[in-house]
Structure 1
Amino acid sequence: MTSVSPPDTILQFNDVSLGYGDFTVLSGISIQALKGQVVALMGGSGSGKTTLLRAATAQIVAQKGRVTAFGQDIAQLTGESLRQLRQRMGVLFQQGALFTDLNVFENVAFPLREHTRISEAQIQDRVLEKLDAVGLEAAAHLRISEISGGMARRVALARAIVLEPELILYDEPFAGLDPISLGITARLIRDLTDKLKCASVLITHDVKESFAIADQVYMVGQGKLIAEGTPAELSASTDPFVRQFLDAQPDGPIAFHYPVTPAYTKWLEQRSRRRS
Structure 2
Amino acid sequence: MEPDASQSTDPLLDFSGVALGYADFTVLQDIDLRVYRGQVVAMMGGSGSGKTTLLRGATGQITAQRGAITAFGQNVATVSSDGLRKLRQRMGVLFQQGALFTDLDVFENVAFPLREHTRISESQIVECVLDKLNAVGLRAAAHLKISEISGGMARRVALARAIVLEPELILYDEPFAGLDPISLGITAQLIRGLTDRLNCASVLITHDVAESFAIADQVYMVGQGRLLAAGKPSELAESSDPYIRQFLDGQPDGPIAFHYPETPAFKQWLGKQRGRP
The question of a shared fold, defined as TM-score above 0.5 by the shorter chain, is answered with: yes
Structure 1 portions without partners, runs of 5+:
1-5
Matches of 2:203 and 2:10 in 1, distance apart?
Answer: 15
What pairs with 1:1-276 in structure 2 (closer than 5 Å)?
7-275=9-277
Give the C-alpha shift of residue 271 in structure 1: 1.4
Letter in structure 1 aligned against 2:110: V
* Aligned-pair identity (%): 75
Amino acid at match of 2:203: V
- Report the secondary structure of 2:175's partner residue: coil
Q: Distance in 2 between matches of 1:105 and 1:132?
A: 11
**Deviation for aligned residue 1:8:** 3.5
Q: Distance in 2 between matches of 1:57 and 1:193?
A: 19
Partner of 2:9, secondary structure, is coil
Secondary structure at the residue paired with 2:12?
strand
Shift of 1:70: 0.3
Q: Deviation per CA, 1:148-175, whole angstroms, max 9, x where unpaired? A: 0000000000000000000000000000
Counterpart amino acid of residue 82 in structure 1: L
Letter in 1 for 2:251: Q
2:177 partner amino acid: A
Aligned partners of 1:23 and 1:108: how far apart in 2? Answer: 38
- SS of 1:90's equivalent? strand
5+ long unaligned stretches in structure 2: 1-7
TM-score (norm 2): 0.96
TM-score, normalised to structure 1, is: 0.97
2:56 maps to amino acid: R
Between the aligned partners of 2:51 and 2:43, the Cα distance in structure 1 is 7
Please give the alpha-carbon distance, in whole angstroms, between the structure 2 residues aligned to 1:25 and 1:143.
Answer: 40
Q: CA RMSD in A?
A: 0.7
> Following the alignment from structure 1 to structure 2, what is the Cα–Cα distance between the partners of residues 261 and 152?
37
The one-letter amino acid paired with 1:128 is L
Equivalent residue letter for 1:263: A
Further displaced range: 214-223 or 78-87:
78-87
d(CA) in 2 for partners of 1:212, 1:241: 21
Q: How many Å apart are 1:263 and its aligned residue?
A: 1.2
Amino acid corresponding to residue 210 of structure 2 in structure 1: K
SS of the equivalent of 1:97 reads coil
